[in-house]
Structure 1
Amino acid sequence: MAVTEDAGLFGPDSITWKVHSEPILFLGGLRSLYLQALHPRAVAGVAQNSGYRADPWGRLVRTSNYVGTVLYAPTAEVERAAGRLRRLHAGMTATDPRTGEVFRIDDPALLRWVHVTEVESFVTTAVRAGMRLTPDEVDGYYTEQLRAAELVGLDPSTVPSTAAEVDGYYESMRPELGLTRDGAETALFLTVPPVPENWGGWPFRLGLSLSPARWAYLGVASTAIGLLPPWARRAYGGWGWSSTDMAAGLSLRGLRALTAALPEKYRIPPLRRAALERAGLR
């Protein structure tokens, strides 16, 4: 396909654009946060350096904007955004609550964990929602995403680039994972975040709300948890039953049908729309 302008790192013929054409992938982003919270150092780094508790929705928007920029923005804009992120991480440290050791936020081991859990969550959510991807396309997605890994400062040769390599990476990481206090607080926060005032509802203790939006969000969060690998659900004190996988899959497909019925302005984010226009597609 002839592209008339800079379509960014990937472009309209990429597996990446195909996977991320699904609005339901917002749920994959949430799933990845639950996975990331199981890494004691990764979650400690977030807890000690991030203001997510004070501004959770603002942080979510900023993170989503970065991901969208990497996926769809012109190459120069992607490189500028990645440079800002690397400089931000380079100035941050945190303390391991278990050992007292101070570590850098841009430690390649932590960057690798965040990258792998994110891209694996995206493609897993797409497939389980019903997107038809061949095994070669899934591997192609992981390989394309090495470019995103390199942007944050990782050596691509150290990053899993196929489904089999991702499985092996998770298996090797499991002895290092566990639910710490920071992880439990983060997971609770992800499941029951503060509701913005404009969501409405009847507020009561702990800032919760009985609004329909609250119940809808709880359903989304429950689905994200159900989509976790069985070993991750067990780490949170849940069950690794296959019936949980089945229920989460059915819920995910229902949510996909709902998002597919949304008007185009909600289904296609501005960054993707602009990229499609640069590529001569509408």
Structure 2
Amino acid sequence: MVISDLGLYGPESVTWRIHADPSIAVGGLRALLLQALHPVAMAGVSANSGYRQDPWGRLLRTTEFVATTTFGTASAAEEAAGRVRRLHRRLTAVDPDTGEAHPVDDPSLLLWVHCCEVDSFLYAARRGGLRLSDADADRYLAEQVRQARLIGLTPDAVDVPRTTTELAAYFDEMRPRLRATRPAYEGLKLLSAPPMRWWVRWATPAAPSWGALVAMGFGLLPSWAKRMYTHLPALPGSEMTAVASLRALRTAVLALPASVREGPQLKAARARVAAVPIRRLEALPA
């Protein structure tokens, strides 16, 4: 077995710890709500993603991409990322203010998506109760530079934040360019109440459970981001409420057997790890 079979990060990485944690589901929803505040990025999503026709499919594909690039083999991660890069090369996003067309793979747009994701995954994990030191947080961001390269960002094109200090500075720089456009509100409405079969919506707890997850994601947004959704009725989700709910959810999920709570990519990754001799596993780079 070659070392690359353990993927881009490996079992000793902070990335595995965060992306295997139940909090990542809420972190992903937070990321979507944050990403929507970039007018050009959201215009690209609105014009190209097809999320209105198939919101569940869009969410599933995003979840599978993160899982594959995290826990899959290096070749599987590159194959998945290659498909996304080839798709993005054909798409454009129109600036709602200037009418100027931007390629979806513009480095500035890719960087925005990347930073929203890593910030949200990290923040949800820490607020949800996963023990991570400041050094762990910086290590996670440094590891995630590999993810940024997968989606098309190269060191000579853009500086990808490698520490929490650099990430905070990036968001400070971006804030004047952000606002909630009409597509952002439309996306939030659809995310909050996606289509469900009538019997699922009315005969199961699926709808209120999903609504609670979205409220958690919204509650974990930075205060400046929440204020940008100025036309939004108050959601039941202060940060304190969101954190308490997330911690309760995380505790409940972690109580389930691993066979139930872990996805297929993570299970396959654990099987590959188990097949690697200990002496080689210890030699893997962190």
TM norm structure 2: 0.89
**Counterpart for residue 178 of structure 1:** 179
Match of 2:5, SS state, is: coil
State which of 259, 266, 274 in structure 2 corresponds to 1:280: 274
Correspondence list, 1:116-265, <5 A: 116-156=115-155, 158-196=159-197, 199-201=200-202, 211-237=204-230, 244-265=238-259
CA drift of 1:56 comes to 0.7
CA distance, structure 1, for counterparts of residue 7 and residue 225 of structure 2:
34
CA drift of 1:261 comes to 2.5
* Residue 48 (str. 1) matches residue 47 (str. 2): yes
> CA offsets per residue over residues 189-208 of structure 1, 9 Å max, x none?
11111124562517xxxxxx
Runs of 4+ in 1 over 4 A off after TM superposition: 2-5
> Does structure 2 conserve the Cα–Cα contact (< 8 Å) formed by 1:4 and 1:278?
no
Q: Larger deviation: 147-156 or 134-143? A: 147-156
> Does structure 1 conserve the Cα–Cα contact (< 8 Å) formed by 2:4 and 2:74?
no
**Counterpart for residue 78 of structure 2:** 79
* Residue 19 (str. 1) matches residue 18 (str. 2): yes
Correspondence list, 1:24-35, <5 A: 24-35=23-34
CA drift of 1:91 comes to 0.6
Give the superposed CA RMSD. Answer: 2.2
CA distance, structure 2, for counterparts of residue 198 and residue 212 of structure 1:
10
CA distance, structure 2, for counterparts of residue 197 and residue 107 of structure 1:
40
Aligned residues: 271
* Residue 267 (str. 1) matches residue 266 (str. 2): no
Structure 2 unmatched runs, 5+: 276-286
CA distance, structure 1, for counterparts of residue 199 and residue 14 of structure 2:
37
CA distance 1:158–1:4, shift in 2 (3 Å)? closer
CA distance, structure 2, for counterparts of residue 102 and residue 3 of structure 1:
44
Letter in 2 for 1:193: P
Correspondence list, 1:52-131, <5 A: 52-131=51-130
Match of 2:102, SS state, is: strand
Letter in 2 for 1:265: S
> CA offsets per residue over residues 117-147 of structure 1, 9 Å max, x none?
0011001100000111010000000000000
> Does structure 1 conserve the Cα–Cα contact (< 8 Å) formed by 2:201 and 2:207?
no
**Counterpart for residue 208 of structure 1:** none
CA distance, structure 2, for counterparts of residue 66 and residue 78 of structure 1:
8
CA distance 1:150–1:274, shift in 2 (3 Å)? same
Q: Larger deviation: 143-152 or 248-257? A: 248-257
Letter in 2 for 1:253: R
CA drift of 1:5 comes to 6.8
CA distance, structure 2, for counterparts of residue 235 and residue 228 of structure 1:
11
CA distance, structure 2, for counterparts of residue 175 and residue 200 of structure 1:
39
> Does structure 1 conserve the Cα–Cα contact (< 8 Å) formed by 2:46 and 2:183?
yes
> CA offsets per residue over residues 88-139 of structure 1, 9 Å max, x none?
0001112222211111100101000000000110011000001110100000
CA drift of 1:59 comes to 1.1
> Does structure 2 conserve the Cα–Cα contact (< 8 Å) formed by 1:116 and 1:166?
yes
> Does structure 2 conserve the Cα–Cα contact (< 8 Å) formed by 1:3 and 1:279?
no
CA distance 1:200–1:264, shift in 2 (3 Å)? same
Match of 2:132, SS state, is: coil
What is the identity percentage for the equivalent residue pairs of Structure 1 and Structure 2?
A: 46
Structure 1 unmatched runs, 5+: 203-210
> CA offsets per residue over residues 255-281 of structure 1, 9 Å max, x none?
111211233233111101101110117
Letter in 1 for 2:79: R
Letter in 1 for 2:106: D
CA distance, structure 1, for counterparts of residue 3 and residue 40 of structure 2:
44
